[in-house]
Amino acid sequence: MINLTINGIPVQAEEGTTILEAARANNIHIPNLCYMKGIHEQGVCRICVVEIEGNRNLQASCITKVREGMNIKTNSAKVQKVRKMLYELLVSNHPEDCLQCERNQSCELQELGQTLGVRERRLYGKRTEIEADISPSITRDPSKCILCRRCVTVCNEIQDVGAINVQNRGFDTIVSPATELPLNSTACAMCGQCTVVCPTGALTETDGIAKVQRALADPNKHVIVQTAPAVRAALGECFGLPVGTPVTGKMVTALRMLGFDDVFDTNFAADLTILEEGTEFLNRVTDALNGGKAVLPMITSCSPGWIKHIEHSYHTELDHLSTCKSPHMMLGALTKSFYAKKINKDPKDIFTVSIMPCTAKKYEIQRPEMNVDGYPDVDAVLTTRELGKMIKSYGIDFVNLPDSDFDAPLGLSTGAADIFGVTGGVMEAALRTVYELVTGRELPFDNLRITPLKGLDQIKTASILIEDTLPEYKHLEGVTVNVAVTSGLQGSNILMDEVKAGKSPYHFIEVMGCPGGCISGGGQPRTDCEDFRVKRTNALYSEDERKVLRKSHENPDLAKLYEDYLGEIGGEISHHLLHTVYTRRGLYNELVE
């Protein structure tokens, strides 16, 4: 332990601790802006400077380690003066449009000004003339960027995509793709992790609210909404509820109050995905065992950020992807076909909205192949954050709303669908069904939870031995199925390098584009809670566990859908509506044609 003094108080800290963390452990908060614990500790913004006795200059406390006998002042007159000046310089070229800004009242830069007590603007610098870059998912406004580089770290070191980096130098410095190309012309996966960490309005999701409001106001439109599993685990945070509070019932009530004609659940389609994808997997394994050309490992296709990433970075390996559309696209396709027919509406009068924890879904819906006979599967995507905003703007007192249930016939789901929002969840849901289909017995794990696939490790693996099969699956007797799960695109790169080299030991791989899965997707509320991933995960696990039906194939409405409309699993109608194709893009979009 190291002994030091902070603001006159003797404290102890582990060797290797930064001054900022040592202070925090002793209830002293040092203002900071670019700091992200364990992720971005570069001392870029300098706001966290402190005075250290014996040092001539102030030091950035986020990168300075504690030393024996240090005497630190975090709030001396000198520190306060310098910190204020640093802040004034940071905002000297910032547009003064807080009132109109997307991040008004949720902006870290704004909040910092308040904390530091900056009450006047003395400095005016030249502002950038570069205009905002609006991609289908992400809007980049360099004029609001303070060059803190959090997004660069997340894109390069956490996601290992590297779509953006710091360009030019001096006053011309901007964060942007190479040669200032628009994001949509790059290998950006549209995962939106940059929008989660941006402290200002420089990186945000591209607005979807206006389009949804227009549809809601149109008397000729039948407006359908569906919600992804992870939304219910985080939406409450927009209204001050503790991180990890599931708000499924309140969310459904709020959506009805917003004026949606039907409130469906993407979870229903998650169950549907399991049947389609599970069957596809069994078919591939059977074919491979019979010496066929089936491509293994099969890789999940629910995460559109991951899909865009593989199309750019591993475009020769697209045959490994399951051909299943992502669940909300499946549900969208059903609203424009099965459901349109059922309620006797022309699909052109149906407007389907998806509430997603994801920014990449906004890109996904405008892919040309995602349509039913010319009608887009889904017409608009709102992120969890956008839904929160919309609910607030309609004056709905969310916290005090009563619960209500999703609408039939596309609203009922099993517990297997809830965990689609968590890393490992899709794999677990698939194995719950596949194992039982093949052996007639429940998956042999306590409480159906495949423990090795739980948690936030980058790559998780499990092996499931198939024994005592049902007669029709005799050929699978004694087969060990190796599965791997990863979340975050860096992990996907590791697994894909093996796949590309022909050395992957796995049969089935689950990839979610964001670290931890959809619960920490690019469209989720921003939070300063350190273990938010664990808390949101537990929220979804509790949703799963409180349900009586916890295996996708037990969903009675799903059985009815196959009986009434789809016919057989993986059949012709399924293929038309629920499966898709992928595009070889290449790192520089050079293969698109």
Partner 1 sequence: MGEQIVKTNCCHGCSNTNETELLERISELAKEYRGKEGALIQVLHMAQVIFGYLPIEVQRVIADALDIPVSQVSGVVSFYSFFSTQPRGEHTIRVCMGTACYVRGGKKIVERLKEILDIDIGDTTKDRKFTFEVARCIGACGLAPAMSIDDVVYKQVDPDKLENILARYYQEGEKAV
Closest alpha carbon to 162 in 130, 194, 199: 194
Distance CA 498, CA 495 (A): 5
Degrees to nearest 5, angle at CA 35 with 183 and 177: 15
Question: Which of 76, 128, 156, 589 lies at the binding interface for partner 1 (CB under 8 A)?
Answer: 156
Q: Least distance from C-beta 587 to partner 1, angstroms?
A: 7
User: Do 247 and 525 form a contact (C-beta atoms < 8 A)?
Assistant: no
Judged by CB under 8 A, does residue 129 bind partner 1?
no
178 near partner 1, judged by CB under 8 A: yes
- Catalytic center residues: 277, 280, 302, 322, 361, 364, 369, 518
Tell me which stretch binds partner 1 (CB under 8 A): 176-184, 190-198, 214-222, 478-486: 176-184
When the beta carbons of 59 and 173 are compared against partner 1, the nearer one is: 173
Q: Of 313 and 352, which CB lies nearer to partner 1 in the complex structure?
A: 313
Only one of the segments 5-13, 141-149, 155-163, 421-429 lies at the binding site for partner 1 (rule: CB under 8 A); that segment is 155-163
178 vs 399 by CB, closer to partner 1? 178
Stretch that binds partner 1, among 69-77, 170-178, 457-465, 573-581 (CB under 8 A): 170-178
One residue of 52, 163, 270, 358 binding partner 1 per CB under 8 A = 163
Comparing CB distances to partner 1, the nearer of 160 and 261 is 160
Residue 167 in contact with partner 1, rule: CB under 8 A: yes
Q: How far is CA 102 from CA 15, 95, 207, 246, 320, in A?
A: 41, 13, 10, 26, 39
Minimal distance in Å, beta carbon 367 to partner 1? 24
Least CB distance from residue 141 to partner 1, whole Å? Answer: 18
- The backbone torsions φ and ψ at residue 332, rounded to the nearest 5 degrees and listed phi first, read -60, -45
Window contacting partner 1 (CB under 8 A); options: 112-120, 159-167, 343-351, 430-438: 159-167
- Applying the rule CB under 8 A, the residues between 184 and 213 that interact with partner 1 are 186-187
* From 165-173, 209-217, 299-307, 453-461, span contacting partner 1 (CB under 8 A): 165-173
User: 215-220 long-range CB contacts below 8 Å, 24 or more apart?
Assistant: 215/351, 215/353, 215/379, 215/380, 216/258, 216/259, 216/260, 218/351, 220/349
Query: Taking the mean position of all CA atoms in its chain, how far away is CA 140?
Result: 18
Q: Quick one: tokens of 18?
A: 């930064």
Three-state DSSP class for residue 144: helix
**Least Å from the CB of residue 133 to partner 1:** 13
CB of 490 to partner 1, least distance (A): 13
Question: Which residue's CB is nearer to partner 1, number 177 or number 305?
Answer: 177
Rounded distance between C-alpha atoms, residue 87 and residue 33, angstroms: 10
Residue 497 interacts with partner 1 (CB under 8 A)? no
Q: Residue 172 or residue 446: which is nearer to partner 1 going by CB?
A: 172
- Tell whether residue 245 is a contact of partner 1 (CB under 8 A): no
Using the rule CB under 8 A, is 165 a contact of partner 1?
Answer: yes
Q: What phi, psi does 299 have (nearest 5°)?
A: -125, 140
Q: Exposure string (b/e) for 122-133, b if CB count within 10 Å is 16 or more?
A: eeeeeebeeeeb
- Bridge partners, 352 (sequence order): 224
Residue from 162, 452, 455, 571 in contact with partner 1 (CB under 8 A): 162
E-assigned strand segments in 35-152? 49-52, 59-60, 71-73, 133-134, 138-140
Nearest C-alpha neighbor of 551 from the set 420, 414, 437? 414
* Closest CB 173 distance from partner 1, rounded Å: 9
Beta-carbon neighbour count of residue 366 at 10 Å? 12
Name the site residues for partner 1 (rule: CB under 8 A): 156, 161-169, 176-180, 186-187, 587-588
